[in-house]
Each structure stands twice: as structure tokens, then as C-alpha cells.
Amino acid sequence: MTQTLLAVPLYRLAHGRSGDKGDISNLSLIAWDAECYDVLAEQVTESRVAQWFAYRHPKRVTRYALPMLNAMNFVLEGVLDGGVNDALNLDTHGKSLSFRLLDMTVEVSPELASRLPDIPGDRPAAA
Amino acid sequence: MSQPPLLIGCASGFSGDRSDGAAAVVRTLAARGGGTLIFETLAERTLALAQLARNDDPNCGYEPLLDELVGPILADCLRDGINIVSNFGAANPPAAARRIAELAREQGLPVPRIAVVHGDALNGPEHRALLKERLGAALDGLDIVSATAYLGAEEIAQALSAGAQIVVAGRVADPSLTLGPALAHFGWDPADWPRLGRATMAGHMLECGLQVTGGYFCVPGLKEVPDVHAAGFPIAEIQADGEFVIGKAEGTGGAVDARTVKEQLLYEVHDPARYLTPDVVADLSQARVVELGGNRVAVHGITGHARPDELKVNVCYRGGWLAEAEISYAGVQAEARARLAADIVQKRLGADYKLRADLIGAISILGDDAGAMRRATPDSHARDVRLRLATENADRALAERVLREVTALYTCGPAGGGGVRTALRPRLNMMSCTIPREAVRSGWNFLEEIAP
């Protein structure tokens, strides 16, 4: 019997922070534990992240895996409208982009979902 | 018997950070036998702003909060043998050093041995020729405010080894503020890349202040942090092999745990196997962290590789005018009225007029300058929305037009717009390149060796 999977936002499995250098943003994605990390490793691919940030037209998205930290680091090139000195965005650094990533959904078993932290009533942004 | 660890505390993560954190760091260092206190105060553009201040007044151009940062802890540091290392010299390290000597005299203290690092400013004609070679036509016609190279840890280490109690630098790479004291303390070979890589990442953990002690980490309901309003500044314990433990000042709020450490470890990192600084290419691809309890986390597995051949240079130049104007809408169709107001202003200024529109309260900072996300996002019927319109232009009068148009919405509509605020400010833009190390003649002197 196939189990029905649940779509849950990444913030239930992981945390992260944005950093900026010029027009490049890096977004860390750090799983709570190895079990959550396996979900990220399988589902949070470069192409999905590129798609999720398509409106910021990344020139390239690279994923670096750090399994010993249960973490990965995404490097998004060309997504800051020129960077801190050139962009018209209030958030010229792209500090908020890590929280955009944390709204992306992954599919997990109901059993795992029941053990993850949650913010009742929160409705993450759609794609 | 193994050498005791070197303790390095950091009491500022950028120019504009809280300035009341040093006392708890110094108390903790003193109680544990001394160490080094660092202040990181230079973001990418801070130095250009400092250069403008120095142009106006030759005694200015260093960190404006210098008195506030150093004054309260100077006596304790000198008494307890705690060295101070910082880039708060900004565009005028000698003036900062003179001010610290003056502070010591004002407080009735013996004037400390203060070292001043020089060579980061690339103001000579030969430097401009080199930058022209590297940046090419992009440099033509620019009104350059500052050009500075990122120096490494070498000068800091030499000055401390020669007996400096305080080292004042301008542009040095942030982690070099930590690596310098470690090099001087342990006497490492400057080509011992694994040790340099580890101490560099210790510096990376410290250089953003509260980012590693729970401040820029907490999320209610997901990542709670105790007493975050009073979070302490971080302290690294560096061992003779470069391995390190991250902790924080005693008697403070905040938290240091595996999660806070991991977030900062990967902050502003691209390829984790190649984190570039002037001193070393640090490699954290095999890093792991171990919670020791009591807000202490050990970081293992870091190594390093031979330093880059060239030094990074930032060139800051005057970049025209940034104009921003805001107006608020509330109640029924508030978001629709804000969207209409943006359309009205764009139509009146013409389709070619570069304009960014943010619907604060509905969709703002996540969007792109071109507005693709805003247009793709349906009206969410937000009922309290602030419209922000922004543009930039080399021509001040053209930049100002958007301010006039938004102000006119007071009577021209849509209905119920209120709370207009407008701002116009000059921009500083920046570009970067690298140059050969030989082109940068860096060094250091004791303050008394420098002509006033």
C-alpha cells in the first residue's frame, strides 16, 4: 500500500540564513537532523531552487552539500539586481531570501510530519 | 604541557552595531586570564563614507563611535593585559590611534603602545593605472571616492609580536582581525595553511557579533532564544592547532548552540571548500560541530590551502541619486488602490522611467526591481498597504520627479492615500577586482613613529 505523502514547508525541517557578495546570494539550508537532511538531499535540488527563484532570474544555482552538518549551501548568481550598491529593493542585501526558500514545500510521510515543529495557522507563500 | 587556548572576544560586527557589548566580553576575558578584544566596524561602503568624512576634515575618517567603543573598556584592557585589534581606523587609522592615545591621557592612564597598519588605501597614480588595467572601460568617467585593498593578518601579527597593545587598521579582511592575534600568540608558520584556515574560520564566526550568539537567528515558535534583547557578544577559544570553541560573554543573554554556529559558519560562503581571504583559502567542507554545553560549541574538521595570489580591491564611486517616496492606503481595496497609484505614477513618468514599486504589507522585499513578482502575484486584498516607489538617476532633477508625483497623490488620488514621506540621497556604488600582492605596499608603525 502506498502511503499518502504530505506537502510541508521547509521551515518545518530546516533553518537557514542569507549572505551576499556583490550580485550573488548564498542561502544556507540546515536540517534539524539527519532524517530531515535526507529529505532535503533528495527533494531540494538545484533545478527546484532555480525554479522557486525564477522571478529573480538566477544566472546559475549551485548546491554544495555539507552532510556532516546536515546542511547544504545554495549559491544563486545574479539574483540581487546588481547587489547592495545598485538594487532599488529595500532589502538590497537579499537578507529575506532565506525565508523565501523556507516557504518551499517538500513531501514527507505523515509520521515524520507529526514529529516536526509547526506554526499553526501559517499559510506559506505559493510558488 | 599543552599551551592554553587564546581567547578572542568580538564586541562589534559592523559600523552601527550595539556599542555596549564590550564590557561583558572584557570581564569574561579578564576572569579567564586575558586575551584579545576585537571590533569589526567596516562594511563594504563604510570606508568610502569615512573617506568622504576625511576629505571634509583631516582629523576625521575613522569609526564615528570610537570613543563609545573604546572609552569604557580601555582602562580594564590595559590593566588586565587584553590587547585590542580593530579595523576602526577606516580611512584614517593614524587619527584613530591619536584619539585613543588622547582617551588614555584623559582617563589618567599610561599611554599604551598603539600600532597603525597602512597600505590598504590605493590612492597613488600607479594604483589608478593598475585598477584601470584590471577594470578597463568600466572605470572611465567615474568619480572615485576610495579604492582599498583587503590586507591580511601579517601586519597585525607583526605589530602584536613587537609589543603593541592596540592595533589600529583600516581595510583588512574581517577574519584577519582574529588570525593576526593567533599568529602572534602561537608563532605559527605563515604558510601553515591548515592552522591558518581554522583560525580564519574562528574569525569568521566572530566577525558578525551577535549573528553567532542567537541574535540574528531567533524565530518565535521555531528557534527561541533566551533574553535575546541582551544577547552577549561572542568569544572564541583557539587552540595551538587552530581548532576552536565558540562561546559568549558571561552573564549575558542569547545562545550558542550547534544551530547558531552552523548558520554563521555558512554565512557569506560560496564553495565551502574554498573560502577566500588574503591569508589562506579556508576549507570547511568537512566541518562538524559538537555542543559542549554551557553555550560552548566546538568546531572541528576545518583545514586550509595556499592563500590566493592576488588581493581583493573595492573601488567606491559616486553613483548618482536614489529617490524614494511612500504613501499608505487602508481598508477596502487598499491594495488595489496602492497598485493603481503605482500605475498612475509610472504612466505620468513614462514607461522608460525606471521605477521600482513595493506594496509594503502585501508584496515588497521578496520581489525583483523589474516587478515581475508583483505583477504575477494576484491582489491579496491586504487592507493596510504602504506603497513605496524608488528610482535612481545620475540627474538629480530626474530622480526628484518621482518624489513630486507621489506627493501630488495627496489630491490627485487614488482615494484615501496618506502619510507621504519622501527622501533623496546620493549613492555610493562599488566595483571589485583583484591586484597582485606586490602592488600593495602594506606595513605598520608605532604611533609615535608617525609624523603628526
* Rounded Cα–Cα distance for residues B397 and B169 (Å): 40
Inter-chain contact A26–B269, Cβ cutoff 8 Å?
A: yes
A85 — pLDDT class (breaks 50, 70, 90):
confident
Tell me: pLDDT of B1 over 70. no
Tell me: pLDDT of B452 over 80. no
Inter-chain contact A89–B369, Cβ cutoff 8 Å?
A: yes
Name the residue of chain A whose CA is nearest to B390's CA.
Answer: A88
Chain A residues close to B222, C-beta within 8 Å? 11, 15, 117, 119
Considering only CB atoms, B428 lies closest to which of A85, A100, A117, namely: A85
Name the residue of chain B whose CA is nearest to A91's CA.
Answer: B365
> Which of these, B252, B243, B362, B361, lies nearest to B301 by C-alpha position?
B243
Across chain B, mean pLDDT equals 96
* Rounded Cα–Cα distance for residues B445 and B147 (Å): 22
Length of chain B: 452
**Cβ of B434: how many Cβ atoms within 10 Å?**
15
CB B50 within 8 A of CB B44: no
Chain B residues close to A76, C-beta within 8 Å? none
Inter-chain contact B365–A96, Cβ cutoff 8 Å?
A: yes
Chain A residues close to B263, C-beta within 8 Å? 15-17, 28, 30
Inter-chain contact B266–A68, Cβ cutoff 8 Å?
A: no
Residue B290 region by backbone torsions, left for phi larger than 0, else alpha for psi between -120 and 50, else beta: beta
Q: How do residues B225-281 score in pLDDT, each as one tens digit? A: 999 999 999 999 999 999 999 999 999 999 999 999 999 999 999 999 999 999 999
Chain A residues close to B271, C-beta within 8 Å? 62, 64, 75
CB A31 within 8 A of CB A22: no
Report the percentage of chain B scoring pLDDT > 70: 99
Query: What is the least distance, in Å, from the CA of B404 to any CA of chain A?
Result: 18
ipTM of the assembly? 0.96
Inter-chain contact B365–A21, Cβ cutoff 8 Å?
A: no
The secondary element (H helix, E strand) that includes residue B49 is: helix B46-56
Q: Any chain B CB within 8 A of the CB of A73? A: yes
Query: What is the least distance, in Å, from the CA of A68 to any CA of chain B?
Result: 6
Considering only CB atoms, A90 lies closest to which of B259, B268, B388, namely: B388
Chain A residues close to B268, C-beta within 8 Å? 19-21, 26
* Rounded Cα–Cα distance for residues A15 and B261 (Å): 12
Phi, psi of B352 (to 5 degrees): -80, -10
Range scoring the smallest mean pLDDT among A81-90, A93-102, B82-91, B152-161: A81-90
DSSP B394-432: SSHHHHHHHHHHHHHHHHHSSTT-EEEEEEEEEEEEEEE
* Rounded Cα–Cα distance for residues A38 and A31 (Å): 9
Cell representation of residue B321: 541619486
Inter-chain contact A56–B368, Cβ cutoff 8 Å?
A: yes
Beta bridge partners of B146: B316
A126 — pLDDT class (breaks 50, 70, 90):
low
Cell representation of residue B316: 567606491
* Dihedral Cα B157, B162, B168, B169, nearest 10 deg: -40
Inter-chain contact A15–B373, Cβ cutoff 8 Å?
A: no
Inter-chain contact B367–A84, Cβ cutoff 8 Å?
A: no
Query: What is the least distance, in Å, from the CA of A2 to any CA of chain B?
Result: 31
> Which of these, B112, B115, B98, B99, lies nearest to B168 by C-alpha position?
B115
Inter-chain contact B45–A85, Cβ cutoff 8 Å?
A: yes
Inter-chain contact A117–B219, Cβ cutoff 8 Å?
A: no
Q: How do residues A7-64 score in pLDDT, each as one tens digit? A: 999 999 999 999 999 899 999 999 999 999 999 999 999 999 999 999 999 999 999 9
Inter-chain contact B388–A73, Cβ cutoff 8 Å?
A: no
A 38-57 residues with CB below 8 A of B?
55-57
Inter-chain contact B287–A68, Cβ cutoff 8 Å?
A: yes
